[in-house]
């Protein structure tokens, strides 16, 4: 009877694996991302300022036509800033030329950021992956509330087959 129970267990595990969504092989991405950032002060307490941010921009794959090339983005976040530096958390929506979307989350400091894909539609449905990035260029502010910068981001992702 033990042999039958073991066979049944193997069949159950095999069936469960067959029903799970399969992911394609992990792929690398390498992007330049440029955007404008508009910020507004939420509050100031002591030496710390809390800001709400909205950034809009475009991602360009370092390899022309590579993953996420020419995707428009909009990110919303919260920043806490003090003389010691700043940290932030954002949620971003990227839209490609066909209108398919992906959503991600980032956390970062003046040293750089970490990125995680949360969801996608169309060709990006079932996206999983993550990466890191850092600012590569800062431009003179347009006003006290509006600035622009570019960054470089690398990482990996996979999609459902």
Can you give the length of the chain in residues? 161
pLDDT value for 21: 47
pLDDT value for 22: 52
What tens digit of pLDDT does each residue of 145-159 get?
999 999 999 999 999
Quote the CA–CA distance of 100 and 128 in Å, as a whole number. 15
What tens digit of pLDDT does each residue of 110-145 get?
999 999 999 999 999 999 999 999 999 999 999 999
Say what the alpha-carbon torsion angle 153, 158, 25, 18 is, to the nearest 10 degrees: 160
Kindly list the domain boundaries of the chain, sorted by start residue. Answer: 21-158
What tens digit of pLDDT does each residue of 50-67 get?
999 999 999 999 998 999
Q: Give me the percent of the chain exceeding a pLDDT of 70.
A: 84
Is CATH 3.90.1300.10 what the domain over 21-158 is classified as, yes or no? Answer: no
pLDDT value for 2: 41
Quote the CA–CA distance of 108 and 87 in Å, as a whole number. 6
pLDDT value for 160: 81
Q: What is the secondary structure of 27-54 as a DSSP string?
A: EEEEEEEEEEEEEEEEEEETTEEEEEEE
């Amino acid at each position: 009877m033990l042999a039958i129970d073991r066979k049944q267990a193997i069949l159950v595990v095999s069936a469960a694996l067959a029903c799970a969504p399969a992911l394609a092989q992990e792929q690398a991405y390498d992007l330049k991302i440029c955007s404008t950032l508009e910020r507004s002060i939420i509050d100031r307490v002591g030496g710390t300022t809390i800001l709400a941010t909205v950034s809009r921009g475009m991602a360009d794959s370092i390899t022309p036509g590579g993953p996420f090339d020419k995707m428009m983005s909009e990110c919303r976040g919260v920043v806490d800033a003090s003389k010691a530096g700043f940290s932030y958390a954002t949620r971003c929506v990227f839209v490609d030329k066909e209108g398919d979307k992906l959503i991600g989350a980032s956390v970062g400091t003046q040293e750089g950021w970490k990125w995680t894909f949360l969801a996608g539609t169309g060709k990006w449905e079932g996206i999983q992956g993550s990466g890191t990035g850092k600012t590569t260029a800062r431009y003179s502010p347009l006003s006290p509330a509006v600035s622009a910068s570019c960054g470089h981001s690398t990482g990996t992702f996979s999609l459902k087959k």
